[in-house]
Amino acid sequence: MKLITFDGGRVGRLELEEGVVIELDVPSTREWFERGGDVRETGERLAYADVKLEAPIRPKKFFHTAGNFADHHNELTAVDWSHPVHKGIVFFQNVDAIIGPDDDIVYPEGLTKELDYELELGIVIGKSGKFFGPDEADDYIAGFTVFNDITARDIQRKEMESGVFSFSKGIDTFCPIGPWIVTRDEVPDMHELPMQLRVNGEVRQRGNTNQTRIKFPHLVAYHSPQIYSAGDIITTGTISGVAAVQPDPFDFYLKPGDEIEAEITGIGTLRNRVISWEDRYGEPAPQRVDW
The domain that holds 7 is classified in CATH as 2.30.30.370
Higher-confidence residue of 112 and 162: namely: 112
User: Does the pLDDT of residue 163 top 80, yes or no?
Assistant: no
Res. 160 pLDDT band, cuts 50 70 90: confident
Helix, strand, coil percentages for the chain (3-state, nearest 5): 25, 35, 40
Res. 75 pLDDT band, cuts 50 70 90: low
Res. 158 pLDDT band, cuts 50 70 90: confident
- For residues 144-148, give the mean pLDDT: 98
- Mapped onto helix, strand or coil, the DSSP state of residue 221 is helix
Segments in 122-223 forming alpha helices (H)? 134-137, 153-159, 216-223
User: Does the pLDDT of residue 82 top 60, yes or no?
Assistant: no
Backbone phi, psi, residue 32, to 5°: -55, -45
Contact between 222 and 228 (Cβ < 8 Å): no
Backbone phi, psi, residue 226, to 5°: -85, 0
Q: Are residues 227 and 96 in the same domain?
A: yes
Residue 46 pairs with which residues in a beta bridge? 21
CA 31, 32, 34, 39 dihedral sign is positive
Q: How far apart are CA 76 and CA 62, in angstroms?
A: 23
In 3D space, the residue among 143, 207, 134, 148 whose CA is nearest the CA of residue 177 turns out to be 148
pLDDT tens digits for range 263-288: 999 999 999 999 999 999 999 999 98
Averaged pLDDT of the chain: 93
- For residues 132-160, give the mean pLDDT: 95
Structural domain contains residue 289: no
Structural domain contains residue 288: no
- Mapped onto helix, strand or coil, the DSSP state of residue 264 is strand
pLDDT computed for residue 213 by the predictor: 85
Kindly list the strands in the beta sheet with 202-208, ordered across the sheet, starting from the edge strand earlier in the chain. Answer: 104-107, 268-276, 259-264, 194-199, 202-208
Q: Are residues 126 and 259 in the same domain?
A: yes
Q: Are residues 242 and 158 in the same domain?
A: yes
Q: How far apart are CA 118 and CA 233, in angstroms?
A: 16
| Host domain of residue 12 | 2-54
Q: Is 177 exposed, middle or buried (0-12, 13-18, 19+ CB in 10 A)?
A: buried
Q: How far apart are CA 133 and CA 224, in angstroms?
A: 8
Contact between 59 and 34 (Cβ < 8 Å): no
User: Does the pLDDT of residue 72 top 60, yes or no?
Assistant: no
Share of the chain above pLDDT 70, in %: 93
pLDDT tens digits for range 195-251: 999 999 999 999 999 999 889 999 999 999 999 999 999 999 889 999 998 999 999
CATH code where residue 212 lies: 3.90.850.10
pLDDT computed for residue 273 by the predictor: 98
Q: How far apart are CA 2 and CA 184, in angstroms?
A: 10
Considering only 50-59, 97-106, 205-214, which range has the smallest mean pLDDT? 205-214
Q: What is the pTM of this model?
A: 0.95
Segments in the chain forming alpha helices (H)? 29-34, 70-76, 134-137, 153-159, 216-223, 277-281
Q: Could you give the number of structural domains in the chain?
A: 2
Q: Are residues 105 and 242 in the same domain?
A: yes
Contact between 9 and 28 (Cβ < 8 Å): yes
Q: Are residues 228 and 187 in the same domain?
A: yes
Query: Within 10 A of 46 (CB to CB), how many other CB atoms are there?
Result: 16
Structural domain contains residue 291: no
Helix (H) or strand (E) holding 183: strand 175-183
Q: How far apart are CA 126 and CA 123, in angstroms?
A: 9
